[in-house]
Structure 1
């Protein structure tokens, strides 16, 4: 609303004149918007000599021109017309935060007309002081002032409570409607961003749409202009008992409390202000972390990333936990709803991002943790082909042992759900659709870790596809799909942090405050590495027996049990899946200890070595496997993040010895040292330089498919990945290429062979008698000893040959 107050002897007449001008301006503006909407004009389709963001031409074209005209005209009149002090009429007092600006001087009446604008108030409020008998010049100037301020200011006035931000231009979204945004000033970097928050990309997944693919046709539509100035509620989470310190950081610097709802399928668009370049902006679509159980796009403010590096960033919500990944192993509910939400968001980007100035031919998907696993699964999913052009995986990939959920007994899980919510087993899915959403998340989360599943076509006994089943998102185990070359061969940037699981391994519960002994090191290897792999092997045995009983078809390298499948990771198929097998756990533990702890007894060194070893096995080795697949077909870049934040308030839970735990790269990649909401944190100059480097590398890759492209002024050399020469970019205070990394070879090539030797299989005996026979002689057999010697020789020779130490 434009408030114009005229004080004079003829106050009524002056108000009527200005009111008529204001009314005419608003009517013209509304008519223009209506006309543009009717004829289907939108932002990216208007190209008349230069690309413009459409929907509100006055905000981009008329405002600067109107303001310039107003100031120039004011200056000319002030110079040409004789200045004289105002008549002795007492001026009206101004508010403390108001400043008076000379506007025009009446030559005959020797009276100065002044405009008072409140410094901290919206630009649509104007007070005209002391006008007297109007002449033609003063009348025209008053009308011009009213029209310019109301038309221009009305378009850019902020709708954010408590902020001085202005409106971003209105954008028309095909088949949905118009949406307004907010212009966000970023004083620390000298740029502004336009943000459009809370745009629906699918109908609310409630009622019969719970446990169903997102409904996007027709897309959600609205009348009028949707206010994109606030986030919509987050998807209902099932948060961990102890939130990760990095996520606590982002939750702390999020300005407002996060509301939750089952109606949560909304996305947010962040883009640079101003004119769209001829080639349009690169687009980056973010999948947030949270173990598929919690998390929200609300934490991830991309204003700095978008404004500084001229990219469009889209952050999207997706359903989580049981609401996002429930499956009953039938065509009715085959699972992966959260991944289908992500695919629907990518479809929305392909249909509509050009309206915001983005290029549909240059879309990068990127994510961290569960978001990076999502990126990896989209790479191998046939449903996501041609929806993106590049991929960035941060601390996660589709080959992680936890990437795909495979419960030991899926039927037992469904029986437990039926009992918990008083449902009949044969109508379980329909019954659960009527359970309160928050109660369902709380009750269902205690039964199983819900997550992605292999939802390949369920087959009947005669091998025909089950009737009514939708196209699968994940038709086979990720490893099998990559082995067969069934993945999107787009340029890929992938990496991990050197101390990924430092918080989880040593958090006061597992000890390690002053370091660990060698006995503790061996116990951690036994519990967290070898026995975990043995549990995976036994789980595969059980699923194979279940498949044989249900006549389900066995996939080449991953077993499908009515929609729940082995992830195809773990031991890589090197172990025989015989029913009567026993693993020589002690031998495998000794082999790992020999590699990582034989040269030291220092407690702090042993603690550091264990954390780095765990990161190498879980994230580094699998990441290098993915890089090996993709690099055969397209450019691939691998990094290892090692920078330790200097800001003590950023991650207060991080011990001094932790340099780069899981998530430590997120504040620098997202430019958090420049966020207005994070200004209370003691960021150092080194933190800001690291953030500058990381933002440039990530957006460079999105723009050029080359993170070290020279056009952005990045002065680093980052070579493409070569499987025979597995080097990585070490992201530290001074980024540099590493020496060839031997850790991927150890975990991907030699460790499975050690397991194969340590596994004793006797098909004609029970497991107990097999174990007795194997260890009756008091230790491992000759084959085991030979394998041990080979590992020792390989480790020693690699070090002698100049390869770096595993702890280098």
Structure 2
């Protein structure tokens, strides 16, 4: 049972978080109206929509192919003529999941810009740069249709592709950039924004770096990266707690460089480029993408003890070694329920008899399982929600509370908890128990995922509008408050639910944070 549960957990970590976009984006018809803007690399022609414009598939770095596979990002080459930017470019290589059919195209370092109509150079708009989640193994910037955030919030939104999986985070001795190529891509995109966003109506001096799950953890990593100094002015972290730990499953985190190098050696051996190869790196660069994807681990993390990420972001933030920018941070009320439901559906029911073994599988340190079973007893045969609470509290709610406390000692912090117990489902089919507000369930309130708006009630639409107002006001002024929304107190957690947006002081108790901090 232990082996089966561990396998299920690894797969779900990489897959379930992306299942919300199982429906592929509709392929847009070629637009009847276009607009051309001029970047330093050449002109790009985007699509004109009702109230906004999109410019998709713009290169921000050279294709990381050939000798540039596992190299820091290089500048994009200028292009002749006008580049078509009316359709998304390829996602970075990944297995099938969020991107239908997956991707094997390494020419993927592109970004997408959504900007409202009526942009004028005298009135530059705040910029939000969005980093997608999905376990550092899947995802694409083009999955996030940002037109509601751009138009309602009067902001310019940039969504980014960055290298994923082994192609983004391979580590080897003597290889510059080891373990952090994906994070370096994000920094290259931010440098592009500083240089180019003005021609799209954005304010290059007012950039908010935002992301969810692995994207949120990426924001944490950039907060702690000396190389990111001066590249962004505010930070939004959704369900990517900066103080996550690699010894606990599900939540994104980083690993020591030595551990990342060991994983890199295993990958090299798996694809036939082990110690017997004359030049391991040259051998690896000749391996085709499908073979690399088949050989890589389902879990991927950036490496620290590296030039880009000198220390574990959790330790850096605890020590105050992070960029001094205002932060908006939060988690979802029932963060772990999606994973728990997936494990139950995979044939591992949570009952009083199975509960101790399930806990021991995911929390194997001596004494932990017994303490957790005592703190979270299962008395009935439908204990899935208890398992979900353990995952959510241990890996998201309590690390987020700790990150809030550490960050707030030095910068302005606003913390939320998304709590819509009837959030639209992100996965097809009926779950084994009500999921409430699980991981990623806040995203349809901010974006049209995969180009498809979710069905929301009138009250949920009001919540979506309020969340966009908070997020974009924070991007504009570093304070989410405004006359049209309930006041957000910095000293409390703002609970976000339809027609019930209220401050709460009970989040720490509700999520057993005293217990987890002691454990």
TM-score (norm 1): 0.56
* Corresponding residue SS for 1:339: helix
- Counterpart check, 1:635 vs 2:479: no
* Corresponding residue SS for 1:699: helix
Deviation at 1:474, TM superposition (A): 0.5
The counterpart of 1:735, out of the listed 489, 501, 514, is 501
In structure 2, C-alpha distance between the alignment counterparts of 1:411 and 1:610, rounded to whole Å: 31
Deviation at 1:411, TM superposition (A): 4.1
In structure 2, C-alpha distance between the alignment counterparts of 1:417 and 1:601, rounded to whole Å: 47
* Corresponding residue SS for 1:689: helix
- Counterpart check, 1:321 vs 2:165: yes
Deviation at 1:601, TM superposition (A): 3.0
Q: 1:282 to 1:511 in 2, by over 3 A?
A: same
In structure 1, C-alpha distance between the alignment counterparts of 2:433 and 2:316, rounded to whole Å: 42
Q: 1:221 to 1:282 in 2, by over 3 A?
A: same
Cross-structure match for 2:66: 207
Deviation at 1:364, TM superposition (A): 0.6
Q: 1:744 to 1:452 in 2, by over 3 A?
A: farther
The counterpart of 2:474, out of the listed 688, 693, 701, is 701
Cross-structure match for 2:303: 453
The counterpart of 1:420, out of the listed 255, 265, 271, is 271
Gapped runs of 5+ residues in structure 2? Answer: 1-26, 247-252
* Corresponding residue SS for 1:678: coil
Q: Is the 8 A contact 1:671 1:692 kept in 2?
A: no
The counterpart of 1:223, out of the listed 80, 83, 97, is 80
Q: 1:614 to 1:229 in 2, by over 3 A?
A: same
In structure 2, C-alpha distance between the alignment counterparts of 1:162 and 1:225, rounded to whole Å: 19
Q: Is the 8 A contact 1:453 1:474 kept in 2?
A: yes
Cross-structure match for 1:481: 316
- Counterpart check, 1:173 vs 2:39: yes
Cross-structure match for 1:667: 444
The counterpart of 1:526, out of the listed 356, 360, 368, is 360
Map 1:465-476 onto structure 2 (within 5 A).
Answer: 472-476=307-311
Cross-structure match for 2:6: none
Q: Is the 8 A contact 2:31 2:47 kept in 1?
A: no
* Corresponding residue SS for 2:354: helix
Q: Is the 8 A contact 1:646 1:684 kept in 2?
A: no
In structure 1, C-alpha distance between the alignment counterparts of 2:270 and 2:332, rounded to whole Å: 42
Q: 1:419 to 1:635 in 2, by over 3 A?
A: closer
Cross-structure match for 2:376: 596
Cross-structure match for 2:29: 162
Deviation at 1:440, TM superposition (A): 2.0
Q: Is the 8 A contact 2:211 2:219 kept in 1?
A: yes
In structure 2, C-alpha distance between the alignment counterparts of 1:649 and 1:590, rounded to whole Å: 33
Cross-structure match for 2:393: 616
Q: 1:412 to 1:506 in 2, by over 3 A?
A: closer
Q: 1:276 to 1:653 in 2, by over 3 A?
A: farther
- Counterpart check, 1:234 vs 2:8: no
Q: Is the 8 A contact 1:670 1:695 kept in 2?
A: no
- Deviation sequence 1:642-663 (CA, Å, 0-9, x none): 2134656975454551111111
In structure 2, C-alpha distance between the alignment counterparts of 1:613 and 1:260, rounded to whole Å: 36
Map 1:235-634 onto structure 2 (within 5 A).
Answer: 235-239=92-96, 243=97, 247=98, 260-276=104-120, 278-332=122-176, 334-402=178-246, 403-406=253-256, 410-411=261-262, 413-414=264-265, 417-418=268-269, 420-422=271-273, 424-425=276-277, 427-443=279-295, 445-446=296-297, 449-456=299-306, 472-507=307-342, 508-509=344-345, 516-529=350-363, 531=364, 534=365, 583=366, 585=367, 588-597=368-377, 601-604=379-382, 606-634=383-411
Aligned length, in residue pairs: 483
Cross-structure match for 1:678: 452
* Corresponding residue SS for 1:198: strand
* Corresponding residue SS for 1:330: coil
Deviation at 1:442, TM superposition (A): 2.0
Deviation at 1:184, TM superposition (A): 1.4
Cross-structure match for 2:250: none
Q: CA RMSD in A?
A: 2.8
In structure 2, C-alpha distance between the alignment counterparts of 1:366 and 1:650, rounded to whole Å: 24
Map 1:96-245 onto structure 2 (within 5 A).
Answer: 162=29, 165-168=32-35, 170-174=36-40, 176-185=41-50, 192-216=51-75, 219-239=76-96, 243=97
- Higher relative CO (Cα under 8 Å, sequence separation at least 6) belongs to 2
Q: 1:300 to 1:172 in 2, by over 3 A?
A: same
Deviation at 1:593, TM superposition (A): 3.4
The counterpart of 2:490, out of the listed 706, 717, 720, is 720
Cross-structure match for 1:687: 460
Larger Rg: 1
Q: 1:227 to 1:717 in 2, by over 3 A?
A: same
Q: Is the 8 A contact 1:415 1:425 kept in 2?
A: no
Q: Is the 8 A contact 1:649 1:682 kept in 2?
A: no
Q: Is the 8 A contact 2:28 2:87 kept in 1?
A: no
In structure 2, C-alpha distance between the alignment counterparts of 1:648 and 1:432, rounded to whole Å: 40
Deviation at 1:590, TM superposition (A): 4.0
Deviation at 1:278, TM superposition (A): 3.7
Deviation at 1:483, TM superposition (A): 2.8
Q: 1:649 to 1:718 in 2, by over 3 A?
A: closer
Q: Is the 8 A contact 2:384 2:433 kept in 1?
A: no
In structure 2, C-alpha distance between the alignment counterparts of 1:196 and 1:214, rounded to whole Å: 21
Q: Is the 8 A contact 1:201 1:220 kept in 2?
A: no
Q: 1:441 to 1:354 in 2, by over 3 A?
A: same
Q: 1:611 to 1:182 in 2, by over 3 A?
A: same
Q: Is the 8 A contact 1:171 1:178 kept in 2?
A: yes
* Corresponding residue SS for 1:421: coil
In structure 1, C-alpha distance between the alignment counterparts of 2:313 and 2:102, rounded to whole Å: 34
Q: 1:435 to 1:525 in 2, by over 3 A?
A: closer
Q: Is the 8 A contact 1:208 1:433 kept in 2?
A: yes
Q: Is the 8 A contact 2:113 2:159 kept in 1?
A: yes
TM-score (norm 2): 0.85
* Corresponding residue SS for 1:194: strand
Q: Is the 8 A contact 1:326 1:333 kept in 2?
A: no
In structure 2, C-alpha distance between the alignment counterparts of 1:738 and 1:688, rounded to whole Å: 22
